[in-house]
């Protein structure tokens, strides 16, 4: 049956709602707090060739855009002749999945009328995959946990119980992980059911027509945006802390008619520790950066991503090859957009934001009964992973967002959910005044966190922070954001990355970085400075020194706050 463009547009919108329901089903059924509370996942639908047709709004660019390449690997590894109704496929391959072993990707073929019509795929970050645990300490991928090659989790509806026993025997949280795997399989099944309902409603025997409509329109719209840009190139770079030495990303961004090429030649080489980034993950964030800059409203699919080409030398920090350690590949990957923006700002000024916190401010706490004295009988071992954010960079026309993850979009976990996951106590979690860089548009604020354990426990903390020595830089005269700090409550200094022991009764005090400012601080309207002062976003000293607010105005704001008056 031939359908009109209007009908195809309706189907396209329906597909997006299908994959969003798929993602929400995963959120509702997942065991891990990283999925349920932070939304560290992705979901999508693909055609029979493995091309992504639609993605869920819920999810992260690193997962979605990396998963866009993954389904073709599944088809190749499983073999078209071995794909059957009732199958479910699984992997956590860093190079054919989403960049590290701590992501499980599952793919389910979708059959209609006995014929293969497409695939559903989803990815979730899981709390533990064995090995050294989630951290940067490993020297190779072999130390980082259990590797699951692309294989069948279920063959014609029958789950591989040998595989599940192997998984259970190699991880610290077996019930949680197996629960997450079943949640992933179930959300794909829900997507499949909704797809079949749509196909029956529109009398479709396959997805060829709607796939061609989606991909051609997306490709054409993206190329039009690229063709309208200045046809030139520029260089950008950014330096981050690394593990025990600084890491520099260098990129040349070139606009070439119907495509944009980002070449990372000149970037640092591999690190000895697990912060290396496979190309699939670096590509995901480089594409995302350019797409949000020039075509944010064009739906994300295989065709709208294709014009963004990525190149990087093998075994550079953004193109790590097996067996490089890659557990914390997100740290480097989340800096990729800022490097790309630093180049693109020279091609098209006034579009991209200032630098932000970039990578997530995550840490994992491995709790156990205290060993320095007898532990209570109810003391237990537990793994608690919490996702947190610094501030995002100011935008050309808007302030940066406080404690908001950019570019990942991962949500900050509620204290209650974190404490429910194990015997951990979050003593403090609040915005960090003065951490946003000064500017015409102010950078977003970071946050303070203070973490300890319940009575009778000691713990190791896996720190996964950056911006300790290299805070976010401002753009167009904007000020830098505040750096990350971390120490124990007795003043013992701690490193920004790596597993570190925390004795019974001790706490870890963290201050997460702020985003940088955009434009000169002297150009910020006085009423916005007063508002920030009243809300506690900036200090009186900063109001005077950075923004030139008079002592009389500062005193007036303080009096208004005491009186409960609105300050705008």
pLDDT over 70 at 372, yes or no: yes
pLDDT of residue 30: 94
pLDDT of residue 283: 97
Measured distance CA(121)–CA(62) in Å, rounded:
14
What 8-state DSSP symbol labels residue 80?
Answer: G
Instruction: State which of 204, 219, 234 marks the end of a domain.
Output: 219
pLDDT over 90 at 160, yes or no: yes
> Residue 181's pLDDT band (boundaries 50, 70, 90)?
very high
User: Which phi and psi angles does 344 have, rounded to 5°?
Assistant: -65, -30
Average pLDDT for 170-188: 96
The burial class, CB within 10 Å (0-12 / 13-18 / 19+), for 203 is exposed
pLDDT of residue 386: 94
Asked if the structure places residue 248 within a domain, the reply is no
- Please write the tens of the pLDDT for every residue from 336-368: 999 999 999 999 999 999 999 999 999 999 999
Asked if the structure places residue 310 within a domain, the reply is no
pLDDT of residue 3: 79
User: Which phi and psi angles does 490 have, rounded to 5°?
Assistant: -95, 10
Q: Looking at the structure, do residues 490 and 531 belong to the same domain, yes or no?
A: no
- Are 427 and 452 in contact by the 8 Å Cβ rule? The answer is yes
Q: Looking at the structure, do residues 42 and 184 belong to the same domain, yes or no?
A: yes
- Give the chain's radius of gyration (CA, Å): 24
pLDDT of residue 567: 81
Q: Looking at the structure, do residues 405 and 455 belong to the same domain, yes or no?
A: yes
pLDDT over 80 at 2, yes or no: no
pLDDT over 90 at 334, yes or no: yes
Q: Looking at the structure, do residues 393 and 511 belong to the same domain, yes or no?
A: yes
List beta partners, residue 426: 451
Asked if the structure places residue 477 within a domain, the reply is yes
Asked if the structure places residue 203 within a domain, the reply is yes
- For strand 260-263 and strand 247-255, is the pairing parallel, antiparallel, or unpaired? antiparallel
> Is pLDDT larger for residue 407 or for residue 412?
407
What is the largest distance, in Å, between two alpha-carbon atoms of the chain? 78
Average pLDDT for 301-329: 97
Percent of the chain with pLDDT over 70: 100
Measured distance CA(359)–CA(249) in Å, rounded:
14
pLDDT of residue 38: 87
Asked if the structure places residue 296 within a domain, the reply is no
Instruction: State which of 169, 203, 219 marks the end of a domain.
Output: 219
Average pLDDT for 82-97: 98
Residue 167 contacts by C-beta under 8 Å, 6 or more apart in sequence?
Answer: 146, 148, 174, 177, 178, 181
- Are 516 and 480 in contact by the 8 Å Cβ rule? The answer is yes
Q: Structural domain of residue 70, as residue ranges?
A: 5-219
pLDDT over 70 at 262, yes or no: yes
Total domains, the chain: 3
Measured distance CA(308)–CA(289) in Å, rounded:
10
> Residue 255's pLDDT band (boundaries 50, 70, 90)?
very high
Q: Looking at the structure, do residues 399 and 536 belong to the same domain, yes or no?
A: no
SS3 306: coil
pLDDT of residue 190: 97
Average pLDDT for 484-503: 97
Asked if the structure places residue 242 within a domain, the reply is no
Smallest Cα–Cα separation from 440: which of 373, 522, 336?
522
Q: Looking at the structure, do residues 402 and 547 belong to the same domain, yes or no?
A: no
Asked if the structure places residue 369 within a domain, the reply is yes
- Please write the tens of the pLDDT for every residue from 422-471: 999 999 999 999 999 999 999 999 999 999 999 999 999 999 999 999 99
- Please write the tens of the pLDDT for every residue from 51-77: 999 999 888 999 999 999 999 999 999
Q: Looking at the structure, do residues 405 and 545 belong to the same domain, yes or no?
A: no
Percent of the chain with pLDDT over 90: 96
Q: Looking at the structure, do residues 397 and 513 belong to the same domain, yes or no?
A: yes
Q: Looking at the structure, do residues 428 and 530 belong to the same domain, yes or no?
A: no
Termini Cα distance of the chain: 59
Q: Looking at the structure, do residues 184 and 58 belong to the same domain, yes or no?
A: yes
- Please write the tens of the pLDDT for every residue from 269-293: 999 999 999 999 999 999 999 999 9
Name the average pLDDT for the chain.
96
> Residue 1's pLDDT band (boundaries 50, 70, 90)?
low
Q: Looking at the structure, do residues 514 and 567 belong to the same domain, yes or no?
A: no
Q: Looking at the structure, do residues 560 and 511 belong to the same domain, yes or no?
A: no
- Please write the tens of the pLDDT for every residue from 108-121: 999 999 999 999 99
What 8-state DSSP symbol labels residue 226?
Answer: H
Instruction: State which of 173, 190, 219 marks the end of a domain.
Output: 219
Asked if the structure places residue 412 within a domain, the reply is yes
pLDDT of residue 58: 87
């Amino acid at each position: 049956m031939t359908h009109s463009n209007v009908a195809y547009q309706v189907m396209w919108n329906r597909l997006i709602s299908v994959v969003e329901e798929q993602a929400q089903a995963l959120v509702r059924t997942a065991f891990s707090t990283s999925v349920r509370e932070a939304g560290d996942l992705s979901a999508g639908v693909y055609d029979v060739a493995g091309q992504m047709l639609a993605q869920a709004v819920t999810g992260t660019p690193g997962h979605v855009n990396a998963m866009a390449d993954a389904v073709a690997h599944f088809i190749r590894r499983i073999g078209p002749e071995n794909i059957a109704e009732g199958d479910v496929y699984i992997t956590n391959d860093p190079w054919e999945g989403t960049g590290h072993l701590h992501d499980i990707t599952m793919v389910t073929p979708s059959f209609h009328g006995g014929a293969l019509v497409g695939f559903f795929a989803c990815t979730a970050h899981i709390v533990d995959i064995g090995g050294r645990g989630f951290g940067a300490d490993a020297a190779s991928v072999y130390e980082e946990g259990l590797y699951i090659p692309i294989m069948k989790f279920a063959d014609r509806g029958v789950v591989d119980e040998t595989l599940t026993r192997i998984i259970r025997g190699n991880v610290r949280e077996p019930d949680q992980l197996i629960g997450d795997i079943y949640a992933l399989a179930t959300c794909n099944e829900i997507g499949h059911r909704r797809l079949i309902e749509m196909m029956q409603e529109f009398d479709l025997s396959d997805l060829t027509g709607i796939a061609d409509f989606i991909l051609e329109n997306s490709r054409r719209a993206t190329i039009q945006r690229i063709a309208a840009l200045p046809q030139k190139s520029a260089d950008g770079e950014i330096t981050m802390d690394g593990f025990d030495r600084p890491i520099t990303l260098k990129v040349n961004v070139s606009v070439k008619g119907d495509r944009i090429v980002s070449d990372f030649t000149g970037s640092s080489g591999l690190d000895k520790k697990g912060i290396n980034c496979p190309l699939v993950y670096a590509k995901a964030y480089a594409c995302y950066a350019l797409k949000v800059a020039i075509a944010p409203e064009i739906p994300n699919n295989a065709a709208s991503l294709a014009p963004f080409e990525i190149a990087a030398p093998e075994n550079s920090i953004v193109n790590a090859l097996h067996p490089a350690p890659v557990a914390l590949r997100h740290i480097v990957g989340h800096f990729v957009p800022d490097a790309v923006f630093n180049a693109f700002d020279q091609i098209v000024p006034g579009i991209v934001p200032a630098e932000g916190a970039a990578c997530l401010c995550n840490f994992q706490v491995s709790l156990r009964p205290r060993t320095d004295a007898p532990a209570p009988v109810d003391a237990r071992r537990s793994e608690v992973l919490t996702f947190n954010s610094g501030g995002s960079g100011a935008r050309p026309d808007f302030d940066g967002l406080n404690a908001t993850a950019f570019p990942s979009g991962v949500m900050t976990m509620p204290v209650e959910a974190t404490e429910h996951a194990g015997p951990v106590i979050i003593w403090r979690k609040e915005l960090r005044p003065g951490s946003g860089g000064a500017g015409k548009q102010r950078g977003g604020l970071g946050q303070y966190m203070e973490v300890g354990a319940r009575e009778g426990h000691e713990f190791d903390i896996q720190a996964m922070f950056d911006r300790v020595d290299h805070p976010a830089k401002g753009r167009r005269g904007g000020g830098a954001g505040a750096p990350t700090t971390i120490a124990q409550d007795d003043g013992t200094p701690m490193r920004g990355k790596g597993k570190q022991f925390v004795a019974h009764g001790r706490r870890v005090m963290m201050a997460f970085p702020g985003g940088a400012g955009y434009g000169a601080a002297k150009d910020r309207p006085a009423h916005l400075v007063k508002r920030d002062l009243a809300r506690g976003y900036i200090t009186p000293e900063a109001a005077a020194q950075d923004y030139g607010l008079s002592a009389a105005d500062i005193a007036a704001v303080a009096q208004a706050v005491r009186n409960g008056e609105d300050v705008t």
